[in-house]
Amino acid sequence: MLTPSDKALVPFVSVDNMMRLVHHTGLEAMITRIANTIEADFLRWDAFDKTPRVASHSDVGVIELMPTSDGDMYGFKYVNGHPKNTAEGLQTVTAFGLLADVQSGYPVLLSEMTLLTALRTAAMSALAAKHLAPEGATTMAMVGNGAQSEFQCRAFKAICGIDTVRLYDIDPAATAKCARNLADSGLTVIPCTTGQEAIEGAQIITTCTADKQYATILTDNMVGSGVHINAIGGDCPGKTELHKDILHRSDIFVEFPPQTRVEGEIQALPDDHPVTELHDVFAGRTAGRTSDKQITLFDSVGFAIEDFSALRTVLDLIKGTDMYDDLDMLADPDDPRDLYGMLQRSA
């Protein structure tokens, strides 16, 4: 048996090691660190290759690849979305991702991204709200209390300073789960029995539901002036959460318009409906919130640069730790031209 060389080994962060890394760093600290990296990468927007994710749709879900590169590093994420999975005891979303060195093409990190996607989605939501939510906002309505909900609540606490969350889900067991998990988070947690009750007194409204269909989680009469809406659930063609009239009353902010117009809430609007790209807000080229009466809407679908940023954060955090495994992933013959000979010698 041939012993793998250092060139053959790629750091691999398993689910177990990702959980260790989160606990070692601190959940809110890690979300904040990912948000800071996303913001830094959005500030060098022009350095990145940008393309909508490559999606394979079926009747029951979607499987997607999300690639990007900044010229030095290449990254991609594999991710699925299957709403039916929950009833079968499976995750709705699973993911893994990779970073590679552009100069050699060699991978430098392979990581689970089911947990990491939850962290980066929450980080991106709170980062957008930092620029768009009403100043001094303290209360968020969390409509949809599935796997993402607790991460969203903790991110808004860490980055935006909210202290109260009002929870609602059509499944009371999901709300009970979320409330139980947030019991020691430092947040005041208020379970609600309707969506209308949940948004009462909330300056921020987050919607995060899983059903793959055109839906109306928020109707126009539920949304008053001056709020920030963080719409996460509309993330593929044919899936939305907001009544179209809300969109017409809102200033809409997006990650990457060519992707959002196909997958986000704005798929319900004409292709020329005006939207603002968040990288321009982060850089100060465009205003975010401009008045107390304004409704701001982050039409969140997730973009490859955010996953690239999350993987960069993990690669930095694991340095000098034992929170990864060396995966024998790359063939490394003594003579790069003699791959067959390496196979022979391994017999």
Tell me the pLDDT tens digit for each residue of 193-205: 999 999 999 999 9
Residue 75 half-sphere exposure toward CB, CA atoms < 13 A = 26
Q: Which of 235, 322, 325, 326 is catalytic?
A: 235
* Residue 335 annotated to the active site: no
Sequence-ordered list of residues with C-beta below 8 angstroms from that of 55, at least 6 positions apart, any chain: 62, 63, 64, 236
If one compares 221 and 46, the residue with the highest pLDDT of the two is: 46
pLDDT tens digit string along 201-220? Answer: 999 999 998 766 777 889 88
Q: What is the DSSP letter of 244?
A: H
Sequence-ordered list of residues with C-beta below 8 angstroms from that of 223, at least 6 positions apart, any chain: 199, 205, 229, 246, 249, 295
pLDDT tens digit string along 313-347? Answer: 999 999 999 999 999 999 999 899 999 999 998 88
In this prediction, residues 246-261 reach a mean pLDDT of: 96
3-state helix, strand, coil in the chain (%, to 5): 40, 25, 40
Question: What pLDDT shows up at residue 258?
Answer: 95
Assign 2 a pLDDT band (cuts: 50, 70, 90).
Answer: low
In this prediction, residues 258-286 reach a mean pLDDT of: 95
Amino acid in position 196: Q
Residue 286 pLDDT greater than 90, yes or no:
yes
In this prediction, residues 5-13 reach a mean pLDDT of: 92
Question: What pLDDT shows up at residue 215?
Answer: 78
In this prediction, residues 148-172 reach a mean pLDDT of: 97
Assign 238 a pLDDT band (cuts: 50, 70, 90).
Answer: confident
Cα 335 to chain centroid, rounded:
42
Count of residues making up the chain: 347
Q: What is the pTM of this model?
A: 0.95
Question: What pLDDT shows up at residue 212?
Answer: 61
Residue 84 pLDDT greater than 80, yes or no:
yes
* Cα 168 to Cα 74: distance, rounded to the nearest angstrom: 39
Residue pair 211/217 in contact (Cβ under 8 Å)? The answer is no
Q: What is the DSSP letter of 4?
A: P
Question: What pLDDT shows up at residue 237?
Answer: 81
Question: What pLDDT shows up at residue 256?
Answer: 97
According to DSSP, the residues that pair with 143 across neighbouring strands are 168, 207
* Cα 184 to Cα 188: distance, rounded to the nearest angstrom: 9
Sequence-ordered list of residues with C-beta below 8 angstroms from that of 339, at least 6 positions apart, any chain: 331, 333
Arithmetic mean of pLDDT over the chain: 95
Structure tokens at 56: 């394979």
pLDDT > 70: percent of the chain: 99
Residue 184 pLDDT greater than 80, yes or no:
yes
Residue 53 pLDDT greater than 80, yes or no:
yes
pLDDT > 90: percent of the chain: 85
In this prediction, residues 172-194 reach a mean pLDDT of: 97
pLDDT tens digit string along 13-42? Answer: 999 999 999 999 999 999 999 999 999 999
